A = this chain, B = another copy of it.
Amino acid sequence: MNVLKQRSTCPVSTSLDVLGDKWILLILRDMVFAGKSTYGQFLQSAEKMATNILADRLATLESQGLLTKAVAADKKSKFTYRLTEKGVDTIPIIVELMLWGTKHCPTIVDPGLLAELQAGKAAAVEKYQRRAREKALA
């Protein structure tokens, strides 16, 4: 299950073999910019992903080493998903997608976040990466 097929040795292609899925990147977005970390929270997103797809993509993300799964601190019947360094490294990609969408598609954007990104992209990326790392340790 969930065996990755690499189509070529091109770095863009190999990235897409993992990340070239609409749901995968929305899960990562939710973790980074919405602070979500549980199955139930991911289900509540505006895009309404199906439960089987969510389960499948979480398993893929875990097997690909982008996130870790652990029993939640408050409840034993609950799991917490956290980004690994490999996952944290996708933040620049998500940020570029956000900027492109903001510029070229009809969207509703958080003005604070947009201003932050336009003021200094690299600094904003680093801030969210730092924040994700801190959460992973907690």
A residues in contact (CB < 8 Å) with B: 6-22, 25-26, 29, 33, 45-48, 86, 89-90, 92-94, 96-109
Contacts and interface: CB of A to CB of B under 8 A. Distances in A.
B109 A7 contact: no
Given A46-B7, A89-B100, A103-B89, A94 B12 contact: yes
Nearest to A7: B47
Copies of this subunit: 2
A12 B45 CA distance: 13
A92 B104 CA distance: 14
Given A16-B22, A22-B16, A109 B11 contact: yes
B46 A15 contact: no
Given A20-B21, A96-B93, A97-B16, A102 B11 contact: yes
